[in-house]
Amino acid sequence: MSRSSQSTRNPALVAAVLVFFGMVAVIASVQGFEHIGGYIPCKLCLAQRQPYYYAFPVSLIAILSAWRGWSPVLTRGALLVTGALLLWTFGLGIYHSGVEWGWWQGPGDCGAVAGGISTNVGDLLGDLTAKRPPSCTEAAGRFLGLSFAGWNVLASAALALIAFRGALKK
């Protein structure tokens, strides 16, 4: 059996590849909104990215393990860990969405490091007083009724479902 026909019959490999590229799309989107669109992330926005960064190498292990035919325990374990990390960002997204809608209190120290702060010592104090990091209580924008945190809830739930399904399917 060739590798290409083997890969289409390996649900763990398909799931690992879908999850990896789905995560790449999510992080590329938020980085684009930040660096091209000018949206400055708040503390909770940045926290929601961390599980993705941890899940990248784990999902690559799942891909490599499934592709090379290594132990199914390793492949499934890596997919389960990836799914758990995606559930972590899912929970953070729900929390952040609730803070934005005013359903519960957010962290008292919520704010991000403001972008574009000068390295000129004479200007540093002026920059720090002029630039205000965004509050976690205000959505930077809403698209089809959802904030970035709300979209993260949907994306991470879908990716976690794919990861868990790939890990548990025979």
Task: Fill in the DSSP letter of residue 2.
Answer: -
pLDDT tens for the 170 residues of the chain, in order: 455 444 458 999 999 999 999 999 999 999 998 889 888 888 899 999 999 999 999 999 999 999 999 999 999 999 999 999 999 999 999 999 999 888 888 787 775 444 455 555 566 666 555 556 678 888 777 888 889 999 999 999 999 999 999 999 87
pLDDT of residue 143: 84
Helices (H), the chain: 3-8, 11-35, 43-68, 72-101, 121-130, 148-168
pLDDT of residue 127: 58
Contact predicate 91/153, CB 8 Å:
no
Domains of the chain as residue ranges with CATH: 3-168 (1.20.1550)
> Largest Cα–Cα distance in the chain?
68
**Whole-prediction pTM value?**
0.80
pLDDT of residue 8: 59
